A and B are shown apart, each in its own frame.
Chain A
């Protein structure tokens, strides 16, 4: 983990209430997909945790949804603004368990970390496929980008306005070796019930520090207590207590 200054290169709207921020800075601490950064925002006391969507060559990409004061301030930030980020937080996804044909499942703003994950899996010679779900057509993002990696992709919209009608669990393919997921907890739970393989899931929790010092984000697992920020955010299907 490190604290470093990033400069905004671009901050643009992607979908309804969803923005993509590209920043330049030291990304060397980001070692695995599924890790997150913790952003200091002027005037707010706690940092805001956001997953790494893409990182490399000193460019970091974040995709975030405006849900409250912090993300509202973020969406108003212009090119050139400098931000303090703690980077290299969290365990991230372990790609060694994926098998040849892993399935990636994203729900809403849980989709961004799957982008770097897909890139990594492809670079390891694996053939990931993905299902991403949204409420409605205006909320869909990352579809083109994931397809551009050569990942077969199904988009599901709950209201049927685009792609398959229904939830991600209604659109799962039959054939996959492992799964990786990030999204709202009800989706993660339904997915664990529906999936026929083991897998890894990324969770959210309110955080004080984001790096393991305050016990603000603890959860119980079948084996031991874990801190979502340090021992997570990625947990294995088998250890989760719903």
Chain B
């Protein structure tokens, strides 16, 4: 028997597989397909203080080995998440969830996190300071170490739950942002969010996405994500949740060797709704193949 358990800031997960925010809704679509309690946890759609419709369409474009999205944080707002989505989710998911939060000012983040702090279902708060698809917020905070630290501090003040800062790859030095978050009291880090990209419709001579740019994810970004997790693992002591392009159990092992304590799976869920289930079922086989008894042992093993 292999041991797939991992721990994030005192929260033990049965396995390191966590659907990534924005690619798993609030879980119900998948709960119709399989028992989602097999997941380590899952990170729900980015939630903001007020409800948002998001960006105009088209919001999605295909790329070689991946996709661009410019959804723009569509969500019903934190009050509706607490009063409607979480109770519905409770019926299909009995583990702790990761609450993914976004905002347009430090006060926004503080407000939303304080509201979620009272929710027993929430195990970890994941602050998205890296959304490339909204203007005047999101990525702006993840782009500088000072702003990232400020958001970390205001959020830490309003919640007792572990706070993970979700970092942007669209920076020159991701280690500097990671260190700033650690120093400001972050309990962990999630990386990477999507890489800013673009496609142009040759016939129409215009960007394909209405938002012009979008965030690249999928297997195309895996090597970039892996390198960033590797670098950040060396720079900080707090745990790192690794993500970006994970499609298989082998990718999970590779990401953990780079330094991830757990992993999130994003775009893979969209093209294969059973992706997380397949990865979880395949993990023991892959662990046996590479003679891994316990996944916790291999975290950062490539350093």
Interface residues of A, Cβ cutoff 8 Å to B: 1-3, 40, 44-47, 86, 205-209, 211-220, 225, 230
Kindly list 8 other residue pairs between chains A and B, CB separation below 8 angstroms, not including A208-B60, A213-B23, A213-B270.
Answer: A47-B271, A208-B59, A208-B267, A209-B270, A211-B29, A215-B25, A217-B60, A225-B74
Q: A45-B62, A45-B271, A213-B30 are in contact. Are A219 and B71 (CB under 8 A)?
A: no
The residue that B218 contacts in the complex, of A1, A3, A45, A216, with Cβ under 8 A, is: A45
The residue that B71 contacts in the complex, of A47, A216, A230, with Cβ under 8 A, is: A216
Task: Check if B269 sits within 8 Å of A1, measured CB to CB.
Answer: no
Report B51-67 CB contacts with A as 1/0, cut-off 8 Å.
00110011111111111
Q: Which chain B residues border A217 with CB–CB below 8 Å?
A: 57, 59-60
Report B220-231 CB contacts with A as 1/0, cut-off 8 Å.
000000000000
Q: How far is the CA of A211 from the CA of B33 in the complex (A)?
A: 11
Q: How far in angstroms is the closest Cβ of chain A from B216? A: 11
Q: How far in angstroms is the closest Cβ of chain B from A46? A: 5
The residue that B58 contacts in the complex, of A206, A211, A215, with Cβ under 8 A, is: A206
Q: How far is the CA of A212 from the CA of B45 in the complex (A)?
A: 12
The residue that B67 contacts in the complex, of A46, A86, A211, A218, with Cβ under 8 A, is: A46
Q: A44-B62, A45-B67 are in contact. Are A208 and B270 (CB under 8 A)?
A: yes
Identify which of A86, A215, A216, A220 gathers the most chain B CB atoms within 10 Å of its CB: A215
A-contacting residues, B55-96, CB 8 Å: 57-67, 69, 71, 74
The yes or no answer to B120 lying at the interface (CB within 8 A) is no
Q: Which chain B residues border A211 with CB–CB below 8 Å?
A: 29, 273
**Majority DSSP secondary structure for residues of A touching B:** loop
Task: Check if B60 sits within 8 Å of A220, measured CB to CB.
Answer: no
Q: How far is the CA of A218 from the CA of B272 in the complex (A)?
A: 20
Q: Which chain B residues border A45 with CB–CB below 8 Å?
A: 62-67, 218-219, 267, 271
Q: How far is the CA of A67 from the CA of B79 in the complex (A)?
A: 43
Q: Which chain A residues border B74 with CB–CB below 8 Å?
A: 215, 218, 225
Q: Which chain B residues border A47 with CB–CB below 8 Å?
A: 271
Identify which of B61, B270, B273 gathers the most chain A CB atoms within 10 Å of its CB: B270
26 contacts between A and B (CB under 8 A): A1-B29, A2-B33, A3-B274, A40-B271, A40-B272, A44-B62, A45-B62, A45-B66, A45-B218, A46-B62, A47-B271, A86-B273, A205-B58, A206-B60, A208-B69, A208-B267, A209-B273, A213-B29, A213-B30, A214-B22, A214-B25, A215-B22, A215-B74, A217-B57, A218-B71, A218-B74
Q: Which chain A residues border B218 with CB–CB below 8 Å?
A: 45
Q: Which chain B residues border A206 with CB–CB below 8 Å?
A: 57-61
Q: How far is the CA of A214 from the CA of B45 in the complex (A)?
A: 9
Q: How far in angstroms is the closest Cβ of chain B from A90? A: 13
Q: Which chain A residues border B23 with CB–CB below 8 Å?
A: 209, 213-214
Q: How far in angstroms is the closest Cβ of chain B from A230? A: 8
Q: Which 3 A-B pairs have the closest CB atoms?
A: A209-B270, A206-B58, A216-B60
Q: How far is the CA of A40 from the CA of B30 in the complex (A)?
A: 18
Q: How far in angstroms is the closest Cβ of chain B from A141? A: 24
Q: How far in angstroms is the closest Cβ of chain B from A62? A: 19
Q: Which chain A residues border B272 with CB–CB below 8 Å?
A: 3, 40
Q: How far is the CA of A225 from the CA of B77 in the complex (A)?
A: 13
Q: How far is the CA of A216 from the CA of B32 in the complex (A)?
A: 20
Q: Which chain B residues border A213 with CB–CB below 8 Å?
A: 23-25, 29-30, 269-270, 273
Identify which of A47, A206, A219, A230 gathers the most chain B CB atoms within 10 Å of its CB: A206
Q: How far is the CA of A209 from the CA of B274 in the complex (A)?
A: 12
Q: Which chain A residues border B271 with CB–CB below 8 Å?
A: 40, 45-47, 209
Which residue on chain A has the smallest CB distance to residue B55? A218
Q: How far is the CA of A206 from the CA of B30 in the complex (A)?
A: 21
Q: A40-B271, A206-B58 are in contact. Are A216 and B69 (CB under 8 A)?
A: yes
Q: How far is the CA of A186 from the CA of B190 in the complex (A)?
A: 44
Q: Which chain B residues border A40 with CB–CB below 8 Å?
A: 271-272
Q: Which chain A residues border B69 with CB–CB below 8 Å?
A: 208, 214, 216
Q: Which chain A residues border B29 with CB–CB below 8 Å?
A: 1, 211-213, 230
Report B112-155 CB contacts with A as 1/0, cut-off 8 Å.
00000000000000000000000000000000000000000000
Identify which of B29, B45, B53 gathers the most chain A CB atoms within 10 Å of its CB: B29
Q: How far in angstroms is the closest Cβ of chain B from A89? A: 11
